[in-house]
Structure formats: C-alpha cells, structure tokens
Amino acid sequence: MKYIRKLRLLLERQTKRRLVFLMFFSVFVSVIETIGISAIMPFIDIATNFDSIQTNQYYHSVFEFFGFTNNIDFAIAFGMVLIAFYIFRGVVNLIYSYFLSNFSEGLYAKIVKKLFKTYLAMPYQIFTNKNSSHLTKAITAEASLMAIVVNAVLLMVSEVFVVLFLYTLMLFASWKITLVFTVIFAFKIIFLMQTVSKKAKKIGAEREQSQAQFYEIVNRVFGNFEHIKLQDYQRLKETKNAFAVAVDRYSNANASYRFFDFLPRMFLETGGFSLVVLLLVILLYLGQSNVAHILPILSLFVLALYRLLPSINRIVIGYNTLIYNHKSIDIIAEELSVKKENLGNKNIEFKQKIQLQDISFYYQDKPILKHINLTINSGEKIAFVGESGSGKSTLVNLIIGLLQAVEGKIIVDDSVIDASNLQSWRAQIGYIPQQVYLFDGTVADNICFGRKLDEKLLQKVLKQANIFEFFHKKQGILTLVGEGGIHLSGGQKQRVAIARALYAEPKILLLDEATSALDGDTEQKIMNEIYKISKDKTLIIIAHRLSTIKDCDKIYKITDSGIEQQ
Ligand code: ATP
Ligand code: MG
C-alpha cells in the first residue's frame, strides 16, 4: 500500500487521469469476460437438451419474444449471437491491450523526460556531488522499471475485477463448489504472498545494488582506460573479478526473480487441475450421474478456472513485480526531488562593472574563500594567480554564476545577480574551463555546441585559436575528435575549447588555465590573438605562467587570508 501511495505522488495529474480511465476500461473488459464465460452454460444446456428450451421459463420467453418456430433455429441463432459476442470480446481486449501498451511506454517516456529536465535544472554544485553513473542508471534502468511497476499495478487492479466478477458468477452457479475452491486457493495465495513476495523484496534490493556497482565499474573502466591498460596482471584480474561479482549478483537476482515469476503459475495450475477432477468427483458423489446434466456447470467451472487462474497468477506476479522493483520507485522519487534552479528570464546588462561584495564560499564546512571584495571594470583584463587549491577556479565559478556564494553578493552595474537574471548573466560569458571535455562528434558540432552553424564565424574562431590549419589538413570542420577529444592532443583540445568560447562572441571571456598545455610559441600566438579580440571585452585569466598574464591590467593573488592586488 505504501508503494501505491508513493506512486501516486510521482505521477502527474494527466497520467493519473489516464490511469483511472484504463481502470474503468478494465472493469468493462472484466464484465465482458464474465458474460462470455457465463453464456457458455445455457448454450451447452440447450445444445445437449433441446427440451429445456420449452421447459425453462427464461429460454422460453426469449424463444417467444423473437418469434422462433423451432428449437434448432433457436439453438443456431443462440450460437451465432455467441460467436458475434466472442468476436466483440476479442476486439475489446485488443483495444484494451493497445491502450495499455501505449500507456506504459508513454509513461516511461514521461518519467525519463521529467528526470532529464530535473537533471538539467540541477545546480552545478549538486551535480559535483553526484555520481554520473547513478544518474545514467536512473535515466536508463530505473525509469523503465518504474514504468513496469505502474503497469503491474494497473494489471493487478484490472485482474482483481475479473476475479471478483468470475467469483460472483461461480457463487451463483454453485456456492458449495466455490467454497471448496475458495479454501484451497486462499491457502495457496497466502502461502505465495508470504514466501515468494518476501524473497522478491530481498532480491529486488540485491538487483538495485549490484546494478549500481555494475554501472560504476563500467564507467570507471572506460573513463580511465589508459590506467586500466597500465595495470599489472594482478590488478587487472581484480578489476575483472569485481565486475564479474557485480554481474553475477545482478544476473542471479534476475534469475531468482524470473523463477519466482514462474512459480505461482505452476502452483496455481496444479491446484486448478486437481480442482477440476475434484469437481467431477463431487458432482458425481452428489448423485448427478447423468453427464448431460453436469456438463453445463462443469464447463462453466472449467472455463471460469481457465480464465481465473491466469488472473490470479497475474495478480501474484504483479504484486511480486511491485515488490521486486520497489527500489526504482524510491530512486525515481529521490532523483525527481533533487534541488532545481528556478531561473527567471530577466535580462541583465553589463556596461560598467562587476562588484564582488564580501563573498564567502564553503565546500561542505571547509572555508575556501573568505570575505572577498573585488571590482572588475568593463573592458579590464585581469588575472588571478595563487597556489594550487587556493580557490581560483572556485572564485571564477562564483563570478560566472555556476556556484552560489554562501555569503555576500555579486552586483553587475546596479543589479544583484540572483535567480531572476542568472540565466541571462551566464549566457554572456565565454568560459574555457580547466578540464576540457569534447564529445564524440565533429569539430563543428563541438564548437557550435547546439548553437546555429555559421561557417564564416567558425573559420574565424578556429583561426583565432590557431587550430584552423591543423583541421584544414584533415577533414576540415568535419574532422571527428573522438570521445572526450581523444583523437586530439591536450593542446589541440584546449584550442578547440578556446574556439568554442569565442564562437559565442561573449562580452566576458574567462580562461582557466586555458593555455597550460601549449608550448611557449603557440601560447604567445593565441594570447596575442585573445588580447586582440578582447579589446572591447572583459577578460579574466587564471594562469601560472607569468608570460601569459604579462599584458593584464591587474593581477590578483588569492591566498588563504583573502585576495590582494599585486
Ligand atoms: P588549481 O590551481 O589547482 O586549479 P584552484 O585554485 O583552482 O587550484 P579550486 O579548484 O578553486 O582551486 O579548489 C579550491 C579548494 O576547494 C580545493 O582545496 C579543493 O580541494 C576544494 N574543492 C574543489 N571542488 C570541490 C568540491 N566539489 N567539493 C569539495 N571541495 C572542493
Ligand atoms: Mg583551478
């Protein structure tokens, strides 16, 4: 029950509405199923004993009402109506399963889109505390499992109706037999719920943990492939073993679950078959030795069981599915509740100055920057220097709004940077981070990065970044860079990153160790180019080499105690 409550919180209104519609539809389907099964009894009754048409008052009134003249015609007409009804039943069931499949796949798409949207809106600082393999797992594996869970619940509810209706029908047909039936099945179902479902919960948790491990190892290995190659025999074996353990745990959990999926059916079917035999014995024992007499009720029970067993089976399986995959509900709920940036679309103009007022920043409880005050005038070229780990990248991330200060504020001209204008502020900045990551695609794709392709501009920025000639000798802007830019050298990657930042023609250009991988000559060329293009831009540079920053107007040193101009 608590899982259902959690699910309710996760689903959107429209989804819930569709869910309710499908539930009503499923009740309709159950009614049709019940009619289909109950109609067989009178038909067999009539077919085996024509006299009953005249002796039974119900048959007789129908016979009279439609003005039949002989029994055979009546039986044939009844048969035709039944056939028409079964065709109708088939069509209704088809339509129902069409809606059901669309619903569950649509639900999957909805969850994934919502997750992706949430992740995109996640603050950078939260992202740095996440493990990207968990995010990938949530989006790929858990979302589809959650859709499966919702589907299972839906199926369970509709099957409960089938069971209820058929049960009522059986009670009407013979309450004594139904009672025997109830006792046997109640025990079986309770037993199944107690044993299998408990186990399903355990292996469900096991599935989630081992799958997380699985994703992590894959990510770690492919993200550090050069280190993997450098491992000695022993350590390589350990890596393989760790992976094998995770995969085995995962597949064992799934294997057990699959077995438990099959178990209820066998368990119930055995009961079902025995019951049919038992039924015959009881009927014969009750003194109805005439098979023609017991045939209608026997066929009703056989048919009812034939329809009922799969229903009960699906209810048990649905319940197990819910239990086995319950973690995915928790995970999706948790992931959807990560903090989101709620950014407004107010514009911000930067004409005169950026002021940092009393900025302090902590990672967890560790102070990184304390009471920083700084003014950057428009058009100024400034540099931050300082020891490794002193907080230069952190300060820059605060200025560009990737991180939010714990204390203090940033004022651009007269506007304080806050959620309402942050998006507009960030969009004015060309940032070349310390860690360049290029994605698997062409140079053009990597530089445009979702912006419109302007070939002229593209060539211009490639030349400015001193990398045009290099690509020109290859396939030009269509040269593939490989995942993470693995086909390029470190310096070439940095130059592509510089071109990427320049392509936006930003007002503020920010270089965090952007030329550290370049040789002196190339660096000088690029820096000259950068100083040239940023004549009317604001330039912020972090660099260790003095040669890089010698043309800056101001140099600030960041130390433990604060910031000082040099
Ligand atoms: P470098 O010259 O080596 O690039 P830096 O001056 O740019 O150094 P920062 O990257 O700003 O240094 O890091 C400042 C401090 O903050 C470091 O001590 C680092 O360990 C810590 N730090 C950075 N990122 C995080 C994070 N996401 N969580 C916790 N601590 C962090
Ligand atoms: Mg840094």
Distances (CA, A) of 264 to 230, 302, 566: 50, 19, 78
Residue 122: per-residue pLDDT: 93
Q: Looking at ligand 1, which atom is closest to the CA of residue 129?
A: 27
pLDDT 10s digits, 500-545 = 999 988 889 999 988 887 888 888 888 888 888 888 889 999 988 8
- Is the model's pLDDT at 292 over the cut of 70? no
Pocket test for ligand 1, best of 359, 394, 544, 545 (most atoms within 8 A of CB): 394
Distance CA 91, CA 256 (A): 36
Task: Give the chain's largest Cα–Cα span.
Answer: 115
Q: How far is the CA of 368 from the centre of ligand 1 (A)?
A: 8
Closest-approaching ligand to the CA atom of 368? 1
- Is the model's pLDDT at 4 over the cut of 80? no
Nearest CA to ligand 1 atom 31: 363
Distance CA 148, CA 156 (A): 12
Q: Is the pTM of this model over 0.85?
A: no
Residue 94: per-residue pLDDT: 94
Please compute the mean of the pLDDT values over residues 481-507 and round it to a whole number: 89
Pocket test for ligand 1, best of 385, 392, 542 (most atoms within 8 A of CB): 392
Distance CA 113, CA 118 (A): 9
Pocket test for ligand 1, best of 368, 436, 559 (most atoms within 8 A of CB): 368
Distance CA 204, CA 328 (A): 9
Mean pLDDT of the chain: 87
User: How many other β-carbons are positioned within 10 Å of the β-carbon of residue 455?
Assistant: 10
Angle between helices 291-324 and 175-223 (to 10 degrees): 30
Of 505, 422, 492, nearest to 461 (Cα)? 505
Distances (CA, A) of 385 to 48, 123, 494, 513, 545: 100, 27, 20, 10, 9
Helix (H, G, I), strand (E, B) or coil at 92: helix
pLDDT 10s digits, 104-147 = 888 889 999 999 999 999 999 999 889 888 999 999 999 999 88
Q: Which residues contact 388 (CB under 8 A, 6 or more apart)?
A: none
Residue 257: per-residue pLDDT: 87
Q: Which residues contact 430 (CB under 8 A, 6 or more apart)?
A: 501, 502, 504, 505, 506, 508, 509, 510
What tokens appear for 500 in the block? 């990427």
Please compute the mean of the pLDDT values over residues 270-289 and round it to a whole number: 76
Q: Looking at ligand 1, which atom is closest to the CA of residue 364?
A: 29
The radius of gyration of the chain from alpha carbons, rounded to an integer in Å, stands at: 36
Distance CA 29, CA 100 (A): 12
Q: Ligand 1: residues within 6 Å at CB?
A: 128, 363, 368, 386, 388-394, 434
Q: How far is the CA of 213 from the centre of ligand 2 (A)?
A: 30
pLDDT 10s digits, 408-453 = 999 999 899 999 999 999 999 999 888 888 999 999 999 998 888 9
| φ, ψ for residue 391, nearest 5 deg | 115, 20
What tokens appear for 57 in the block? 């008052």
Distance CA 315, CA 163 (A): 10
Kind and range of the H or E run holding 313: helix 291-324
CA dihedral 372, 373, 378, 381 (to 10 degrees): -60
Nearest CA to ligand 1 atom 27: 128
